[in-house]
Structures are given as C-alpha cells and as structure tokens.
Structure 1
Amino acid sequence: MTKSFHNTIDSARMYQYYTGSGWKVGPTYITFRNRSLAYQFFPHFHPYVPSLIQRLNDGGFPELQDSDTLYLPQPNPPSGQPLQPLTPIPDSTRATLFANITGNRPNSGPSIALAAGTPITLPAGTTVTVAAGTVVGHPDGSTAALGAAASFALPGFLPVSFSSGIQNTKAAGAIIVLDSTKVTITLPAGASAVLTDDGSPVQFAAGTSVAIRSGEPQPFYYVDDFAAQYSPDITVVDQPFPVKNIDFTDEGAYSIYNWELFFHAPLLIAVHLSQNQKFQDAQNWFHYIFNPTDNSPGPTPERFWKVEPFQYTDVHLIEDILVNLSQKQDGPLYDQTIRSINDWMDHPFQPWAVAKHRPSAYMMKTVMAYLDNLIAWGDSLFQQYTIETINEATQLYVMAANILGDRPQAVPTKGSVKPLTYNDLRASTLDPFGNAMVDMEVDIPFDITAPSGSGDALNGAQILPSIGKTLYFCIPRNDKLLGYWDTVADRLFKIHNSLNIQGVFQKLPLFDPPIDPALLVRAAAAGLDVSAIVSGLNQPLPLVRFRLLVAKATELSQEVRSLGASMLTAMEKQDNESMALLRAKHENTILSLANVVKYSHWQEAAKSTQSLQMSLNSAIQRYSYYQKLLGRTDAQITSSLPQLDPLDQGGLDNLRFTQGDLSSEPQMGLDPINPDISQDATSVSDGEVKTLSNKEVEELDKLGMVRDFHIASSSLEALGSGLAIIPQFKAHAQPMGCGATVAFGGQHLHSMASGLAAISRAIAEEYSFEASKAGKLGSYARRELDWTFHSNSAKNEINQIFKQLRGAQIREAIAKKEYDNHQVQMANAQQIVDFLQGNDIGGGVPIKETTVGFYTLMKRQVKGIYTKAFQLAYDVAKKAERALQHELGDSSLNFIQFSYLDGPEGLLAGEKLQYDVKAMEMAYFDLNQREYELTKHVSLMQVDPLALLQLRTTGSCTFTMPEELFDLDGPGHYFRRVKSVGVTLPCVVGPYTSVNCTVTLQQSSIRVSTDPGKNYARQGSNDPRFNDYYGSIESIVTSSAQSDSGMFETNLKDERYLPFEGAGAAASVWQLTLPSDVKQFDFETISDVIVHLRYTAREGGQLLKSAAVQNLQTAIQKAHTVGSVCLFSMRHDFPTEWAKFKNVTIGGAIQTAEIDLVFRAENYPFWSQGIVGSGALKGVQLFAESTKTQIIVSDANAHSDTLVRNPLLGNLLAGKLAKIPMPPAVTDPAKPFALRFDDNSMTDLWIAITWGK
C-alpha cells in the first residue's frame, strides 16, 4: 500500500531501522512535490504627492479632483478627426479566446489547454487582422461593414466618441474595431500574451482567433518603467508589473488614500451638505464623483463619472456573479467574489468590505445619494408651493427621472423550482454564498424539445436550450432603488395635476409676494446664504401655537447653552491635557538635559574618590619614606599600614549605615617625640630667647672657648711681635773650652709668645672640633625628631584621608544614587508622557482614556451636536417667530437674527439666541391685544345658491365668502381671521348614516390696512392692503354635519392650531365635497349648507367704515353682493304654481305648460326691504332636472330661450334667459312672470334671479 500523499510513489530506497528487538531493513517511500514560486510587486509610496499639491495650489480643489481622470491624448491624431482620441496603456488590450486552443509556456515550456472565453491581455505590437464584412465604427459615431480585410498593430488608440473599441487609420480612413469583434492575432517574435486569471505568460500560434476588447486609456499620471529598470524574469515575477500611477487597486499600498481623496471625502461632504439642506452645494460636491449634466465630448455613461475606477469598470449583474459562484466559468470573477465573501464574513456590518471588491456598489451608492439630494431639493421647493419654486422643483424631478430612465420591468420566469430541503441543497453542493444551482421545472410540456441546429454562429452566438439551471434562492428586489421611480412619478403627477405635495388641489397666485430688500441686505451683511433666506420667507405656518414653540425654543436654547458650556469644558480640558502633556514633555526634556549633569556629578564624585586615593598613596609614600629614614624595614612599614574597609552600601540603601561613627575608619598611632631641651643654658639673640638642646649649648659653649683661645692666640702673636723689637742679649760661657754662647733677647721672647699663640690655636681647634661635633650631633638629633614629626604628620594625613575617602565614597554613592534615581525619574517622566498620550505603560496601570485625542474627539462630537442643537433651536425659534408674526398679524416683527455663531467657535450662540427668544416672548405679551371675537353663520343658499345647486347635483361645489358678506355685520372691521369653522348640512339621512362632507379652504386673503384707498375693493393681486394667506391647505371631514368642526372636540386652547385658524375670513374660497361614487343618502334632500364661522377682527375706524358702507351700496346696485342672487325651487318655494304646472298635459293643441311666478318682497333678504321695490332683475337662470336633452322656454310674446345640459351641474338642463324680457324685482300679482315650457316632465325646476337697483 502506498504511503504517498497523492497515492503515487516517485522513488523508494532501503534503509535499516531498529525496532527494539533488533535491526531490520525496510523501504523508505519518497514523494516529490513540484511547487511554483512567483512574486507580485506593488509600489509602496505615492509617486505624485508633489504634483497633486501643485495642482491644488494652482487650480484649487476642482483641479485636484480632475487629476485621476486626466488622460493622455493621442499625440499625432489622424487628420479630419472630430475629437482627439486617447492613448491607451501599451499592454492593456484585452481579449477572450474564441475557441478551445492549446498554448505554450515561454522558453519551450509545457503546453497548456485553454478553453474558449479565457480572458487574456495582448502585448503591444500584436498584429490584429479584421476580416472583411466586419461591422466597424467611424469617429463620427456611424457604423459600416468593412469592405476588405484590415490589419494593424496594437494598441492603436481609443476613440472618444465610443465607449469601447480600438481606433486605427487605414487607407479607407479611420475605423473603430468595436468591442467583442472576432479578429485573428499574430504575436510579435518572442512576445507572449498574459492570462488574466493568474498573470502568467503564454504563447499562441499565429492566426489565433480572439474576441478583441479595447484597452484602458493611459492616465496623465502614469509611468511604466519597472521592466526597464529591473528586468524582471516573467517566469518568476507575475504580471502586470507595478506602475507609477494614481492607484485604486485592492492591493495598492496607498490606494486607500486615493479612494479617500477622490471618492469618500467628496461623497461624505456632499451627503452632509444635503442633510443640512445645502442642496446646491451638495450637488457641486456630487459632481466631483458623478455629474450627469456633463455635456463634454465622450462616451456615455463614462463621461458622467469623475472617478477613474468608475469610468472603466466592468459592471457585473448580481445574478451573473452568483451564477458564476456556482459554475466557476469566470475565474477572476470567482476569485474576486470569494475574497469579497471572506471579507464580508470578517467584517459583517461594514459595507466597504464588499464595495472595495465591487466598485459598482460605490457607483450605486453615489447615484442613489445624488437622487436623494435631487428629490429632497425638489421637495423643499415643492413645499414652498409657489409658481417659481414649483417650476424649479419640476426641473429637479425631471432630471431625476432622466437619470433613472425607464422603470425596470419584472420578467416572469418560464418555469418553477422544486421545493427542496436543506439536506437536498447540501447534496446539490452549496456555493460559498449558501446558494445552489438547481434544475427548473418546465411549465410547457413541448418546451423541452431539443433545439435544432448546432455549432457556432458567425457572431459567436450559440443556440441554447430554453430549459436550464437557476439559483434556488432568488435575488431579492432592491425596494429602495425601485422606490425612486415611485417617488419621482408621484411628484410629477401632483405637479401636473395642480396638487400640492400632500395631494390637495390648491390655486396659486400668479406672482410671489414681494421680498423685503432690507432683509436681503441684512442677510448679505451677515454673510448668510441669500437663497436660503428667500426660500424661508413663505414657509407654511407651524402646526402648534407660539406659546408652545417659544417654550420649546427657550428649552432648546438652554440646551444649546449647556452644550456650549460642555464644548468650552472640552476645549479647556483639551488645553489642560495639552498643557499637561507639554509640561510632561518639557520635564522629560529637562530631565534628559539634566541627565548629563547628574552623570557628570557622579563622575566628579568618582574622580574625587580617585584623587583622595592618590592623596592617600602619596601620604603612604611619605610615611614609608620617613619610616625608612628612621630605620624601619619594608615589612615593618607594611605591617604598620592599616586597610580601609569597603563602603557599607547596603547600610546606606537601607538607612542602617554603620560606618558613621568616629572609629569606623582605622587610626595609626603616632611615634613619641622627646626633644633634647637644655634646662640650664639659653641663648639670647636679638632680644629673643631660643630653646636649645644640650648639644647646641655644648656647641655654643665650646665655640665661645674657641673664640677665647683664638683671641688669646692672636694676643700672644701680637705680643710676640712687640717683644721682637727687644735687642738680643748674649752671654758666652766657654768653660773648658767648650763653651756656649747664650743669647737672650727679643727673639726669644717673640718665639715664646708665638709658641704660646700656637698652643692657644691648637686648643681653639680642639674646641672648634668638639663644637662642630656637638653641632652635628645636635642636628642629627633634630633631624631625627623632624623625621619622626613628618612621619607622624603622614600618619595624621593618612588618618584624615581615610575619613575623607570614606566621605568621598559616600558622596560617590550619593551621586551614583542620584544618577540612578534620575534614570528612574526619566523613565517615570516618559511613562507620564506615554500615559498622557494614552499608551499602555504596563504594570497594571490602566490606559488613560481622557487624552488630548479624546478631548479633541469630544470637542468635535460636542461641536457637531452643538451645531445641530443650535440649528434645531434656531429653526424652532424661527418657527416661533413665524407663529408670533402670524398670531399678532405683523410680519415686520423680527427678533431672531443671523449672526449668533459669530465669535470664537460660536460659544455664545445659545445665550444670544435665548436672549432674543425671551425678548420675543415679552413682545408677544406686550402686543397680544384682544381683538373682536365674532361668530357668523353663513348660509350657502344666501351666499351662492348656484353652488348649493351644484352640490346637490354633483356632490361637490366651490363658493366664495366675499368681504361684503362680513361688511354687512361689521362695516369698518379689518384683519378678519378665522378662529374655527363648523358645518351644518340640513338633509334627510337614514339611521346611523354619517354625513361625511370634506370642507377645504382653497384660498383666502386678509385686509391688513385701515387705508380705504381710492377704491375700497381689492385692486389686483398686488394690492398692498391685502395679504394672501400662505398657510398649508387644510381640510376637515364632517361626521354628523351638525355644527361639525371636523374634530372630536373643539378646544380653543388646543396647542395645535385649529383647522383653518388664522386664515382670512373675507374673500375666502371654500370647497365642499361629498362622497358621490357610492352615495349614502340623497343629495337632493340637502336644503342648505350653513358654515359656522368664528373669527376675529380689528376696528378700522370711521373712514374705513364709511368706505365699506359705500362699497356695499355700490355692490347692491350692481347686484354683486351677497343676496343679489336668489334661488327658488318651484317644487318647494312655489308649490301651488308647481302643481298647476305639473297638471298640464302637453299634447295636441296644448304645446306648452305655463307657470306663473309672483316675486314678493319677502322672497328677498331682510336688508333689501325698502330698496327691492324699486329694483329690477338683472338676470334669470333656469335649471331643470329632466331626462330631455333640451327644453324650450318662452313667454306670451313668443320670446324663447333654450335649456341645455350643463356638464358642470350633472344631469341638469340649464339656460339663461336672454331673449325673454326681465320682470321687476317685486312682481304685481295681477301681472305674474309667466314662463312657458315645451316639456313639464322635469322632477324639479329652479330659477335663480339676480336683482339690483
């Protein structure tokens, strides 16, 4: 049985081995494993930092952002080109094998089988042959069939007008070989193509067919010099080789910085600006990444993307990626997907882990964020709901719709998937993503018929069976992405149908109200965005009242103050931590500088110890010298020298020093000195007494005797010289013949004196010798004493040096200890620095959390919250100000300013804002004067009877409450504003049947001035005496229709504004709508609609009152006031006449039925008494409920008019009497107003008369 790992044995050899019982011989199986080793190189530094900085300095951020998409144009483009083509990267031309082939490794390497569709990269110089009849493109965008075969060398160049393709110039002109075109290639001598899967080289036979694809354009910042500089061995070094470029690859060492600079930073800023309602600025930042408004020449959509990897990224569908994950047909895509899944598993909640492997996710995120900005921008303008803003919003929605394109259509599946259990799926091999490919079940039986034909089509297509495999788990819908189509369609539908953003119909004034120029000047002076100020002028009213808003504004401004204090605290703590860190660093620096001083002190102490040791040696030398002079031997001298014990370092360290007493160091005894002092003799010299030894006294005494004998000798010699002058006396005696002569005289005396002098000198010499001898002996004795003294001095010096040496040892130990302590202090100081910096210093000390970086982050976070809180407080304060202006009716009341954030970090913004909020609150208390509080019950029958008729017939009507209606009650009042509205609909309904009437205020205006003007009535939409109400469209729905306000309970103290509260009461346009699709009761039973209107008003003075009365009188005369139109139902108001009219049988001789009408004064409003008698009818309208298509009305004089169907009134026939003369307003009973009808089958007949003076 084989022992090999892969069940094959490459070789075996016999060897001896010991088993415990003896030596045996057995085989050793040897398996050889071949492993391939290759290297991949990447640049590790950014090569273009100076260039990018230069572009930033020269052109600012826009030019910097263009750096990654700046491509190298073709230096010598063909003539006649409309656009200058780009230069491709030399060895970036891509292709895929068209059929199964066998390639060879370079240098006579082994062969390799390659399947069709294998992606390869072709080197520069490869000859490409395009067959005749191939569809190619032209630079102008057109396509044509190639007349003859064409050959050219790669890489060619890239056309700007096409998104892909290779451009080259032939005799027939410039042609563009489109992507995926089948061509034959011929590699240059010695060149190899590169397999895209693994970067390994391979050689192909000449004439190999491939599907060509264009290469990538060469960036302006691109240098490919790796091969030229390093000459890499392609058998060891994987391709592609590293290049100097702005790298965005996954493996790039500095690519993350390029992603941050060119994508993440602009996207983050754009999203932040969009969230803060800075839509235009956000769009400008989005355009650094994605600019769909770019109309520069270039292919679409590549020219819209401003980030290099997004321009030439192969986008794969999710379905294709998941299918390839199971089938592994695309090797590089499979490897990339596996890496993406692994990163996703390692970082499960970080989407960048997927996006960095699939840049299309970044592209999708960018487009969706761009759409969010457009839609939010459009909604912001749409909510202002003016003609100008709606037009602007429409353009934004249309742009979003153009970006989205057509809505994706769901493609129904042709079959279904058999339900499987988890075990079944595991058996079918789950892919790494947890999905599986399964067979589809056929819904149509004959659909399983095998397809006819086989082989490959000329264009590379292949006939596939209609049945195959599919993913068991489908790809979920992207509801967020699909929701954009719904949102944009909803907004455009509402705009096209004159609906506001809530979907309610509302009429708009032709022009916006004028803007206060002073406000714009103040905003510009404060450095604010004027467009933002203008957009906030006509914002709708807040939903709640001023009191609640001002309380919330105060509360929020207090929170802003607290956050400002917190930010200031964070700044102070950051500064304190910075100061502490700086102080610790300075201390560490000072300690480092003092380290030399401490070391020098230690060395100085050591040198002092060495100096004392040398002094000790010198003293010992002198002691030994004098001891030797005194006759002692070396042994005696050595034995007499003591030894100093070592320093008790442990005692010093433990504070138990035992060498501190006097006897701790050795002491040398002194030799006795006995001086020879003579007690009997003294010598006086210069008046001083000298102490002499005996020998010195002896010397002195004998020297005295020497002197005396020398004096005596000298005296004798002098005497002899004197005696020599004495004559010589001779005496002769010669007895016996022998005689002698004796002479005696001066000579003899002289000789005698000389002899005596000689004797004296001899004695003096003796005494001189003895004196000298005594002096010598005295000096020797004195020398011995001196030597003994010096020896004792040396001993004392040795004893003293022992003490000094001990002190020096202690000082050296102290200096060494100070140096060691200084080292510990330096280490501790460095630990303090590390601790303050938040580093781990070990020793169980927790890491400092509140570092400078922590407080910097806290400051940043608090400042972010502070800014948002201030913006929230400011917005609430502005809403409160808007509510104040609304409730007090004075739009000039401005308290909230624009410059709160002025100053360092805007720390006092909360205080400033709170002060203005409090000032605004006090202004409300000071200016909130009580107004007139009135209640008016408005009858639709009296105000607009035709609208009542329309309501009864169609279920919907629109009517106006003119100002004259309120002038009837209070002429001279102005600033009439609604407080609450209730509705009563008298009608006949069944039990438990609701009367659900929708009441909508479409338009209103408020007279804001007491100036009557030249004409009391409003003169056009720009009349400054009136303000149009710009509140949001409000509606209520009644339930009982009995003084129904549309609320469960009408609470005048409600924190929210009541429905219609604050709207103009006069000149208001109302709409009533009943659910008419499925009627719950008969609308014909509605006898009237009463609107119970509670409103407030102000007194305008006598001048305004007079103008109001005059205008009312004029309106009565012109039949333009309330009550000028009266509607009568023949069936209800004239029952007798109606009965007679209905009893007439039309036919034969009777062609018409006549009805006689008598209008009396009581048929008109009460205020018309006294004037209606002299009035006249200004117009008569008839309405008939009949099945006929028309009815002819005539009088006794054969004047006739025709009633025809009016689509606005349902099934009613309507007509105006134009030819029949008008009767007086009050008819004489003897002369009734007689009308003849050619048909009396109608169920009811109404007559509306308009009367006046």
Structure 2
Amino acid sequence: MGRDNEFSSLLHRVPDTDTQTALARDSSTLYLPLNPDFVARWDKLQSRLHNLRHHLSINGKPLQHAVFSPPISPHALLSGYAQSNRVGQIAMHVRQQADIGYYRFQVIYARALTMVENVIQLGNTLLLLLERKEQAQYLQQQQLHAWDLANIAVEQQKQSLLVDESNHRTLLAGRKVIEGRLNYFEKQLKEGISSPEDRASQQYLEAAKWDIAAASAQASAGLAMLLPNIFGTSNGGMRFEGAFHAIQAGAQGVANEKRSSAQHLDRTELFNRRAQEWAQALDQCRLEINQLDMQLQAHEQQSVTLRLQLRQNESVMEHARLSYEMLNKRFSSAELYQWLNTQLAAFFYQAYDAAHALCLTAQACWQFERADWSSSFITSNSWNNQFKGMTAGESLKLDLQRMDAAYLQRNQRELEITKTVSLRLLHGKDTSTSLNKEWTELKQRMVLDGTVEFALTKALFDADYPGHYLRRIKSVSVSLPATLGPYEDIRATLTQLHNQTQLSEVPGDTRDNLRVREQVALSTGVNDSGLFTLNFDTDERYLPFEFTGVVSRWRLAFPNPAAQHAMLDSLSDIIIHVRYTARSAGGLG
C-alpha cells in the first residue's frame, strides 16, 4: 500500500511533458522500469478524455450535431409498419448518421456493393445450411421411424409364428380326432356283426321255425276236424269248419314264414347298410386325414415362410438401427449443421453490420457531395430476427441502387470558378471581419511566431458573384513570393479552422464545419496545393478541403520560424488560389 501511494505521488510530480519520456528517467525511488504499454494506454486515456470534454471526435475534430433530428422518411414508416416495428425504433434507425469517409461516393459505393453481394451470398449459404440441417434432422427422424416400424414388424412376425404354432397344434389335435374315428370304424368293420346280434338273428330264425311248426300243427288240427267222430258216445257227422281252420292255419303259417324271411332279410340288409356306412365313414376319415396331412405340409411351408419373413424383418430392423446410428455418428450430422448455422449466423450478422455501416458511409458521402442531407436511402429495418435476417442483403442492395440512381439524376455540373486572394490586399478589399489584418501586421506576426490567420468571407465572394450559393471548394493552393536559397524548400502548413456552406438561396440555410481541421503541408510555395500531383478526376480520395465551404477561416503556420527568418523577411505577399464550384440563384449572378 505504501509503494502504491509513493508511485501515485511520483506520477503527480511528473511535469506536463511527454509522459513516456518523463517516466523513463532514472529515479532513486523507482527501480523497476514502467510498462510502456501501460504508459501508452494512460496517454490514450488522457487524449480521449480531452476530446470528450472539448466536444471533439475521436480523431480530435470538432463535432457538429444538428439541433433537430432529420425528418423521418414516409417510405421508412411504411416499411417499418409492414414489418410491425414501432415508430420509435423506426425513427432511431432513420436518424443514424455516419461519418464522411475519405473516399468519394463512387468508390465507397463500389466497395459497399461488393460487401452487400458478400452478405447476399452469406445469406444464401446460411439458408442452404438451414435446409441441410432440417434435411439431416428429417433423415434421422425418418430412420428412427423406420427402426420403430421394423421393430413392430418383427414383433408382429413373432406373434404370427405363435399363432402359426397354435394352428399347428390345432391341426394335430384334429388329426388325432379323425384317427380315433378311423380306428373306431376299422374296428367296427373288422368285427362286423357282434355276437349278441348274431344270437338275436339265430333266435329270430328259430322263432320263425317255431311259428311255422305251430301253424303246421294248427293246420293239422283243422284237417283232423274233418274226420267223423265214431268212437265217441255222441253220435254225429263231420265238422266242416275244420277245413277253414286248416286253411287259416296254413295261411298264417305262410304269412309267418314270409314275415320271418322278410325280417331276416331286413335285418341282414340293415347290417349290410350299416357296414357300408361304416366303410364310407372310414373312407371319409382317411380322406380327412389326407386333407389334414396336406394342410400340415402347407402349414410347414407357411411356417418356413413366416420364419424367413421374421429373418427379413429382423435384418430390416438391424439395417435401420445401423443406418440410424450412422446418421447420428456421421460428421455431417444435424449437430454439425447447427454449429455451422450458429457460426455463420454470427458471421452473417457481422458482415451485414459492416456492410450496413459502409452503406451509411456511402450515404454520408452522397449527402456530402450532393449537399443534400434531407435525402436518406439506407434503412436499418432490413434485418428481421424472426427470419434470421434473410433478404437483408437484397434490401441493402436495393437501397444502394436507389442511391446510385439518385446520384446520377442529381449530379449536375455546377459553376466552376477560380478566385485568387492576396493577403497583402485582403484587408483593403474586405472589411467585414477583424481577422484580416494589414500586411505589415501580418508579416510582423509571421516573423515573430510563424503563424497568420485570415478569413475568406461571404462578402468577398458576393462582391464577384452576388447571386451564388452552395460555394464549395474544389482545391486550394498557395503561392509564397519569397527569396529562397539554393536547395531550400518552403516549410509551412495550411489548416482550415472553420468553414460554412450556404445550402440554398434562402438566407440562414447554412451548414458549418464540414470536414473541418484538414491540413496540408507546403513545400514549393508556387501554386502549392500540398499534393505531389493534383488530380481532379483520377484521385479516389477527396482532395484537401474539397466540398467544404468556401466561406472559411484559415491558419498558415511556419514551423520553426527562426530557421526560416530570411525567407519570411523576404516574403512580399501570400496568394491564395481557390478553385470552387457554386450554383446560381438566377439574375445577373
């Protein structure tokens, strides 16, 4: 804790010079050298705090914010409502501003279009990966269903085998029943007429014989009645009814004989018919056994078929399981596509964000070059999280094409004017500002501290063309008529401190400090623009001070004026060559 306080006290005692140089000195108290990265971060933090507290950008340039936000485009409102956005979100998106880039609109537009094409390609790739992931998930689900169905088919086939075995047992039991009937009928046929039946038949025959004998006896008794009774005590003749008794007894005997024969024949035929029925039943049993044997053979073939089907279904189930495991274990699985979707979705949004930022920069360049800050083309509601930003690139491309079409329609040729200003004569020509001093005072200040400030006022240009507006610089060059020694160069810097652009013929419609604080270094002093080669057409970047307001304030500085004392003392004038464009409001101007 004591070393920390000592370190803090030493930091506070360091003079306000270069921090790294001051802290790098030897000290009797601090023995370990300071980390240069830490010191650099400290300097950067101080620089950021200074810019923040003095309303400067991160690069140290003054920030200019409009008092009122630009109006919301009706097209953005309609587009936002179509996507169910809130008005506050739409306004926030539309009011996004981007810094003006260092390159011209056409250059930024080409780069932005290339980035948007990459965003579109990434979107298509992401959509393809989403389809691949869903297709992989569908294949896995389909194969899982196939595995489940194959398992059900195997279980169903096993159940069919159980039913088949039950049917087989049923057929065997039916065959045993028929075999029992067959054995019964074979036994009956082999036995024929049973002993009781045979004795009954014999007794029937004997009874028939006795019936015949009784009839014969009765017939004899009737014949005996025809004989006269001479040996008795009674007297009388023959009994003629005896004949009829004899006839009746004979007829009855014949009838009994016929009846006995018929009964014997009937009983015999009954036994024969019963034997035939048994024989027919026996044959029927043999046929049924043959039929059951054929059914058993067919059942055996069916059992073989069912077992083959079971093996097939088991093979199908195994193949489905292997296919499902392969789909789950393969490298290009749904998990891989999910990971790719996550990674590419992040890349896609970052690419969209970068492309959108570049499109906003292109729009800022368009507004800067066309001096039209009311027109807006790039919207921020192209991204829709619900659909993972699909068609966001196409929307940006459409905005870029609309902006390019508007650029071609509004890129009219403006008046091109060259203005030569002599600082020696500027005080006498322009008395609207106190910044422009007499030449003697200016030269004295240049010799003493090496700086001179001057202003190009609106009155100075209105004296030439009173009806002009939108006066914007194309290039600025400086001529320094002075005496130089051999192999001696001018060492000076020209800095724009302030600029103002009148946007329309309406007074007060101005915009201040566009790309202010630009600076060039002068080396030749003869129509010197600060560039090696001044190219109006081929330079992709903006020229120094290009498109800034010609109504401006400047500082010309000569570093180390003591070393350039002879040149400054011989300086007879400072001539500013201003090439600028303007628009005419009509009239003689």
Superposition TM-score tier, normalisation by shorter sequence:
0.7 to 0.9
Q: Which moved more, 1:523-532 or 1:856-865?
A: 523-532
Q: How does 1:583-602 map to 2 (within 5 A)?
A: 583-602=142-161
In angstroms, what is the RMSD of aligned CA positions?
4.0
1:1037 aligns with one of 521, 538, 549? 521
2:585 to 1089, 1100, 1112: 1100
Contact 1:1001 1:1033 in 2 (8 A): yes
Give per-residue Cα distances to partners, 1:335-363, cap 9 Å, x unaligned: xxxxxxxxxxxxxxxxxxxxxxxxxxxxx
Q: 2:48 aligns with which of 479, 488, 491?
A: 491
- Structure 2 counterpart of 1:815, which letter? L
> Could you tell me which amino acid in structure 1 is paired with residue 472 of structure 2?
R
Quote the residue 1:1059 is aligned against.
544
- SS state of the match for residue 579, structure 2? strand
- Change over 3 Å in CA distance of 1:549–1:1064 after alignment to 2: same
User: What residue number does 2:369 align with?
Assistant: 887
- Alignment-mate amino acid for residue 403 of structure 2: M
CA deviation vs aligned residue, 1:921-973 (integer Å, no higher than 9, x gap): 11111111100111222222222434344223322222111122222332211
Find the partner of 2:571 among 1057, 1066, 1086.
Answer: 1086
| Cα pair distance change 1:595/1:483, threshold 3 Å | farther
Deviations 1:1086-1145 (A, max 9, x none): 222222221111112239x5xxxxxxxxxxxxxxxxxxxxxxxxxxxxxxxxxxxxxxxx
CA distance in 2, matches of 1:1049, 1:627: 133
Q: Is residue 468–residue 585 contact of structure 2 (8 Å, CA) maintained in 1?
A: yes
Inter-partner Cα distance in structure 2 for 1:629 and 1:413:
137
1:1060 to 1:414, Cα distance in 2 relative to 1, 3 A: closer
The alignment partner of 1:528 has SS state of: helix
Partner residue of 2:533 out of 1049, 1056, 1064 = 1049
1:528 maps to: 89
Q: Deviations over 1:793-827 (max 9, x none)?
A: 22222222222111112222222332333333333
* Within-5 A mapping of 1:729-768: 732=230, 743-746=236-239, 749-768=240-259
Residues 907 and 1052 (structure 1), Cα distance of their counterparts in 2 relative to 1, 3 Å cut: same
Inter-CA distance 824–1081: structure 2 relative to 1 (3 Å threshold): farther
1:108-257 equivalences under 5 Å are none
**Is 1:623 the equivalent of 2:182?**
yes
Q: CA deviation at 1:530?
A: 6.3
Q: Which of the numbers 262, 269, 279 marks the counterpart of 1:788?
A: 279
Match of 1:914 in 2: 397
Alignment match, 2:194: none
Picking from 310, 316, 326, the partner of 1:825 is 316
Q: What is the identity, as a one-letter code, of the residue corresponding to 1:485?
A: W
| Distance change >3 Å, CA 750–CA 962, structure 1 → 2 | same
Q: Is the 8 A contact 2:451 2:557 kept in 1?
A: yes
Counterpart of 2:334 in structure 1 is 852
Residue 1026 of structure 1, CA deviation: 1.6
- Correspondence for 1:992: 487
Change (3 A) 1:481 1:755: farther
- Give matches, 1:338-737, under 5 Å: 483-493=40-50, 501-502=58-59, 512-516=65-69, 518-519=71-72, 525-528=86-89, 536-537=96-97, 539-631=98-190, 732=230
More helix by share: 2
Equivalent-residue separation in structure 2 for 1:786 and 1:411 (angstroms):
140
- CA-to-partner distance for each residue in 1:675-694, whole Å, 9 max, x for gaps? xxxxxxxxxxxxxxxxxxxx
Which one has the bigger strand percentage?
1
Question: What CA distance in whole angstroms lies between the structure 2 residues aligned with 1:873 and 1:1031?
Answer: 23
Equivalenced residue count is 526
SS of 2:473 mapped into structure 1:
strand
Partner of 2:346: 864
CA distance in 2, matches of 1:414, 1:1089: 53
Q: Distance in 2 between matches of 1:783 and 1:859?
A: 92
SS where residue 519 of structure 1 aligns? coil
Paired-residue identity, %: 26
- The structural deviation recorded for 1:1061 is 0.7
Distance 1:781 1:1031 in 2: 137
**Is 2:383 the counterpart of 1:901?**
yes
Matches of 1:543 and 1:862, distance apart in 2: 31
Q: Is the 8 A contact 1:881 1:895 kept in 2?
A: yes
Asked whether the 8 Å contact 2:468–2:582 carries over to 1, the reply is yes
| Unpaired stretches in structure 1, ≥5 consecutive residues | 1-406, 416-473, 633-698, 734-738, 840-846, 1013-1023, 1106-1253
865 and 931 in structure 1: CA distance in 2 versus 1, 3 angstrom threshold: same
The aligned runs of 1:46-61 (5 Å cut-off) are none
Amino acid at match of 1:962: T
How far apart are the structure 2 equivalents of 1:948 and 1:529? Answer: 56
Q: Secondary structure at the match of 1:549?
A: helix
The alpha-carbon deviation at position 910 of structure 1 amounts to 1.9
Structure 1 residues 865 and 1093: alpha-carbon distance in aligned structure 2, compared to 1, 3 A threshold = same
Q: Which of residues 1068, 1071, 1074 is equivalent to 2:558?
A: 1074
Instruction: Summarize deviations over 1:413-468 as a string: whole Å, max 9, x none.
Output: 999xxxxxxxxxxxxxxxxxxxxxxxxxxxxxxxxxxxxxxxxxxxxxxxxxxxxx
Q: 2:288 aligns with which of 797, 804, 809?
A: 797
Which structure would you say has the larger RCO, counting Cα contacts within 8 Å and 6 or more residues apart?
2
CA distance in structure 1 between the partners assigned to 2:520 and 2:229 by the alignment: 201
Q: Per-residue CA shift, 1:585-626, capped at 9, x if unaligned?
A: 444444444454333322222222222222222233333333
Deviation at 1:755, TM superposition (A): 4.4
User: Please, which of 411, 418, 423 is the counterpart of residue 935 of structure 1?
Assistant: 418
CA contact (8 A) 1:973 1:1097 kept: yes
Shift of the 745–408 alpha-carbon distance from structure 1 to 2, 3 Å rule, reads: farther
1:782 partner amino acid: R
Secondary structure at 2:556 match in 1: strand
Find the aligned partners of 1:530 and 1:788 in 2 and give their Cα distance. Answer: 110
Deviations 1:154-213 (A, max 9, x none): xxxxxxxxxxxxxxxxxxxxxxxxxxxxxxxxxxxxxxxxxxxxxxxxxxxxxxxxxxxx
The amino acid of 2:450's aligned partner reads G
Inter-CA distance 498–812: structure 2 relative to 1 (3 Å threshold): closer
Task: List gaps (5 residues or longer) in structure 2.
Answer: 1-22, 192-200, 427-435
Distance 2:371 2:190 in 1: 131
Q: What's the TM-score once normalised by structure 2's chain length? A: 0.78
